[in-house]
Amino acid sequence: MKLTVFGATGGIGQEIVKQALAAGHQVTAVVRDPARLTVTGDALDVFRSELRDAESLSDAVAGRDAVLSGLGARSNNDARTGIAAALTRPVLQALDATGTRRFLAVSAGPLAPEPPDQKFLHGRVMVLINAILKPVYDDLKVMEAEIRRSGADWTLVRPPKLLDRPVTGTYRTALNVNLRGGSTIGRADVAHAMLASVDDPATVKQGVSVAY
């Protein structure tokens, strides 16, 4: 496939690029600072952009089979500026202008409903986490709403706490509900789940929770 990856210098984004190249896909990595992209490959094109202008992104998304985004806030301070929504907005506009439809984006587990039988302690822990990271989740809520209103064939991938560990390919997924007891997942496995969802029609216009 021909894939474009936004947020390609982030922890999940670099894994998407690396795994996509290893699987034989052609990848365009959209980055603000090419020096931060450590992945290389013959099938990799690096596209530099500040991600503020939809028209400038047209060449990066036109004719692609799918566009994957790891864009998001790096801190609460970033989130308070609404950075995830702000950076995603021109991407959606570029998709609409070029007719590219498949779009997958990383969001966060706490934005999915909790299962009815989730343990009480886990629920209390999630309330605490949500309070600490409220600016991040508020930003992602706006981003999610704009993605859902778009004309894209979208998928929102919602991981819990992220870990740095090698890809395993062994994790659980659920549509539109959090996974019972699912509190962690590696960034590499989030990338794996996103790539696996690209051509899975069951995930189109759905939220996909992913966790160990």
Pair 127, 90: CB distance under 8 Å: no
CATH number assigned to the domain with residue range 2-211, chosen from the 4 options 3.40.50.720, 3.40.640.10, 3.40.50.800, 3.30.750.24: 3.40.50.720
| Structural element, H or E, at residue 9 | none
Cα separation, 206 vs 195, in Å, equals 15
Cα separation, 84 vs 145, in Å, equals 12
In this prediction the pTM is 0.94
Tens of pLDDT along the chain (212 residues) come to 999 999 999 999 999 999 999 999 999 999 999 999 999 999 999 999 999 899 999 999 999 999 999 999 988 888 899 999 999 999 999 999 999 999 999 999 989 988 877 655 456 666 667 778 889 999 999 999 999 999 999 999 999 999 999 999 999 999 999 998 888 999 999 999 999 999 999 999 999 999 99
What single DSSP character describes residue 203? G
Strand pairing class (153-158; 102-106): parallel
Domain-wise residue ranges, the chain: 2-211
Which tokens is 211 given?
Answer: 């966790």
